Chains A and B, each alone.
Chain A
Amino acid sequence: MRASTVQELVIAALLAFLAALWPLVVDIYWLGIGVDVMMYVALATSWVLFSGPTHYISLATAAFFGIGGFLVGSGMSDYEASFWPMAALSACVGAILAALIGLATLRLSGVYFVIFTLGLAEMIRNLVSWIQNNFLGSRGLYVFTDFTDKHLYWMLLGVAVAVYLLGWIISRSRLGFALRIIGGDETVARHVGIDTATVKVILFTTTGFFAALVGAIIAPRWSYIEPNQVFSPQLSFFVVIMALLGGAGRLWGPVVGVIPFLLIWNWVDTNFPNQSILVLGIAFLVIVYFLPHGVVGRLEQLRSWSRSLR
């Protein structure tokens, strides 16, 4: 085991411990931001598991996230199910859906994959709305639990830690190596003996599993689930922007991207509510022009630069 990777794990554990103390020291407002941050850290880190090494930009996060929220809402209001079984079920449905999308998009690459995942997410949103309006939706979807923001925060932190650990394990495995080769050149990957289809589907399925789980966990916060809201494509774009802003090349990249983005977003949203979407555009420009490899890429550049000075 290389010293640097162990060091990385120790730092991550320390940060997770400090993050766990957050709800005990802050007021309601900052706790709310903390929940947002944790939600996006979990989503963006799981997005990076697949899209980081392979460079396949997926805009389907909202589909899985929405499935999570919708199933919890539907199960709890229409079938009197309790929260945990529904959360587990929705994570599994998210995983199955991701596997199906993965199988359907195997032959697509580049921009075709991006458009297809966005289109598919929109289709799922409309399909679920239609089913809800025509067959289920007489009473609306209510999620009432005893959870407060504090509990949601810790649950999301747990998911984020699990995603990070899984990613760390994958990055040290054959599977992780295969992903990096696929990201480099898929033709080479096939010719050195990698079952590229299987590898991609496994990772995409993992991403779907965690996004649906996060959607399920956050559902109690809204109390009332509106399909059009939980399937909002804005969420997919947020996840991509945050992951790229932090840097998709490293597992801890998204953490660095999520926090500044959400702080700026919240500030603009409170002070200039009509201009908030502008932040998204500016963030995108900043990534393209100044941070092609994210904040992490710049940091590593600085580090090697300072090393060469010594």
Chain B
Amino acid sequence: MRHKPQSVLSVQGVTKRFDGLVAVSKMSFHVGAQEMVGVIGPNGSGKTTMMNLISGVYTPNEGRISLHGRQISHLPPQHICREGIGRTFQLVRLLPGLTVLENVKAGAVFGHKRRWGRDADHFALEMLERVGLEGQSHAPISTLTYIDQKRVELARVLAGEPEVLLLDEWLAGLNPTELETGIQLIHDLRDEGRTVVMVEHVMDAIRSLCDRCVVMSSGTKIAEGTPEEVLSDKEVIKAYLGDDNA
């Protein structure tokens, strides 16, 4: 096993209701150190809500989320970020008024470790190189292609030196060539030994990247295991394709 047994991030019995709608119901799962866990499921199954609960956009109605045993589920996003959880957004979110370098620096300056001045500039540059964007540091955001924008966002999150990385459909919207580059990039993150939770629809990526998968349907966990296990699970196939195909 690649990962160590102790859990870094743990979600225990988390429920989130929006008025009458239960978006996430009694979800529980753990993420071990250096583990890459995929959260998959059909559209509307509550995956992004789960990400938003972990990153502090929402507070759970029930249950707790903890990082290294410390409860974080009552904290606002900025504190959760400083505790060491960094995230990307489903629809890439950059700061259009700032240069590429400044966008990445934003992560380094206020994140988990708070760098400033030259230190922050150097570290941000390092992260840009890390995602393959060296030489573009002073470009305006508007000139970047979609995958490069996604790279900048990833570099910003990495610049905060998070202990747990949340990738919310990071590969969505990429064309086939970009997809290959994207998967390789996440593969490198995996080889660096990062702890990652990724929401993803691209099955090839899930098969090749994830140590373990948590499958959600209608807000609940319906399966958990290695990608091979869960993707051949009857319940999972039913959730994706409907009763007739099961």
1/0 contact string of B80-122 vs chain A (CB within 8 Å): 0110001101000111111000100111011110101000000
Chain B residues with Cβ below 8 Å from A187 are 89, 93
30 residue pairs from A and B, CB less than 8 Å apart = A174-B109, A174-B110, A177-B106, A177-B109, A180-B95, A180-B102, A181-B98, A181-B106, A184-B95, A184-B97, A185-B94, A188-B94, A188-B95, A188-B106, A189-B106, A190-B76, A191-B81, A191-B86, A191-B87, A192-B81, A192-B106, A192-B107, A192-B109, A192-B110, A192-B111, A193-B78, A193-B81, A193-B114, A194-B78, A194-B110
Chain A residues with Cβ below 8 Å from B105 are 177
Cα(A192)–Cα(B152), bound, Å: 13
A292 on the B face (CB < 8 A): no
Cα(A121)–Cα(B94), bound, Å: 35
Residue from A183, A184, A185, A193 in contact with B110 in the complex, judged by beta carbons closer than 8 Å:
A193
Q: Are B112 and A193 in contact (CB under 8 A)?
A: yes
In the complex, besides A184-B98, A191-B78, 10 extra interface pairs with C-beta distance below 8 angstroms are A174-B110, A188-B95, A190-B77, A191-B81, A191-B86, A192-B109, A192-B111, A192-B156, A193-B110, A193-B114
Residue of A nearest to B82 (CB): A193
A196 on the B face (CB < 8 A): yes
B160 on the A face (CB < 8 A): yes
Cα(A191)–Cα(B77), bound, Å: 5
Top 10 A-B pairs ranked by shortest CB distance?
Answer: A184-B95, A193-B110, A193-B81, A190-B77, A193-B82, A192-B106, A190-B78, A194-B110, A193-B111, A192-B110
Cα(A165)–Cα(B230), bound, Å: 61
A300 on the B face (CB < 8 A): no
Q: Tell me the number of A-to-B contacts counted with CB atoms below 8 Å.
A: 63
Chain A residues with Cβ below 8 Å from B156 are 192
A178 on the B face (CB < 8 A): yes
**Listed residue (A177, A183, A193, A194) with the most chain B CB atoms within 10 angstroms of its CB:** A193
Residue of B nearest to A195 (CB): B78
Given A191-B55, A193-B78, A178–B96 Cβ distance below 8 Å?
no
1/0 contact string of A14-58 vs chain B (CB within 8 Å): 000000000000000000000000000000000000000000000
Cα(A174)–Cα(B105), bound, Å: 11
Cα(A191)–Cα(B81), bound, Å: 6
B236 CB, nearest partner CB in chain A, Å: 31
Chain B residues with Cβ below 8 Å from A178 are 110
Q: Are B82 and A183 in contact (CB under 8 A)?
A: no
Which B positions have Cβ atoms within 8 angstroms of A?
A: 55, 76-78, 81-82, 86-87, 89, 93-98, 102, 105-107, 109-112, 114, 116, 156, 160
Residue from B102, B116, B160 in contact with A193 in the complex, judged by beta carbons closer than 8 Å:
B160
Q: Are B160 and A174 in contact (CB under 8 A)?
A: no
Residue of A nearest to B156 (CB): A192
Cα(A192)–Cα(B55), bound, Å: 11
Chain B residues with Cβ below 8 Å from A184 are 95-98
Residue from B86, B87, B93, B97 in contact with A183 in the complex, judged by beta carbons closer than 8 Å:
B97
Cα(A184)–Cα(B98), bound, Å: 8
A2 CB, nearest partner CB in chain B, Å: 12
**Listed residue (A184, A192, A193) with the most chain B CB atoms within 10 angstroms of its CB:** A192
CB interface residues, A 168-183, toward B, < 8 Å = 174, 177-178, 180-181, 183
A216 CB, nearest partner CB in chain B, Å: 35
**Listed residue (B82, B97, B114) with the most chain A CB atoms within 10 angstroms of its CB:** B97
B114 CB, nearest partner CB in chain A, Å: 8
Q: Are B98 and A180 in contact (CB under 8 A)?
A: yes
B93 CB, nearest partner CB in chain A, Å: 5
A113 CB, nearest partner CB in chain B, Å: 19
Chain A residues with Cβ below 8 Å from B95 are 180-181, 184-185, 188
Chain B residues with Cβ below 8 Å from A194 are 78, 110
Cα(A188)–Cα(B110), bound, Å: 11
Cα(A180)–Cα(B82), bound, Å: 19
Cα(A183)–Cα(B95), bound, Å: 9
Residue of A nearest to B87 (CB): A191
Cα(A191)–Cα(B93), bound, Å: 11
Given A181-B95, A184-B98, A174–B116 Cβ distance below 8 Å?
yes
Residue from A174, A177, A180, A196 in contact with B78 in the complex, judged by beta carbons closer than 8 Å:
A196
Cα(A184)–Cα(B103), bound, Å: 10
Cα(A183)–Cα(B97), bound, Å: 9
Cα(A94)–Cα(B98), bound, Å: 33
Chain B residues with Cβ below 8 Å from A192 are 78, 81, 106-107, 109-111, 156, 160
**Listed residue (A177, A183, A189, A195) with the most chain B CB atoms within 10 angstroms of its CB:** A177
Cα(A196)–Cα(B78), bound, Å: 8
Cα(A200)–Cα(B98), bound, Å: 19
Residue of B nearest to A55 (CB): B97
Chain A residues with Cβ below 8 Å from B82 are 193
A190 CB, nearest partner CB in chain B, Å: 4
Cα(A192)–Cα(B111), bound, Å: 5
B24 CB, nearest partner CB in chain A, Å: 19
Chain A residues with Cβ below 8 Å from B78 are 189-196
**Listed residue (B78, B86, B94, B96) with the most chain A CB atoms within 10 angstroms of its CB:** B78
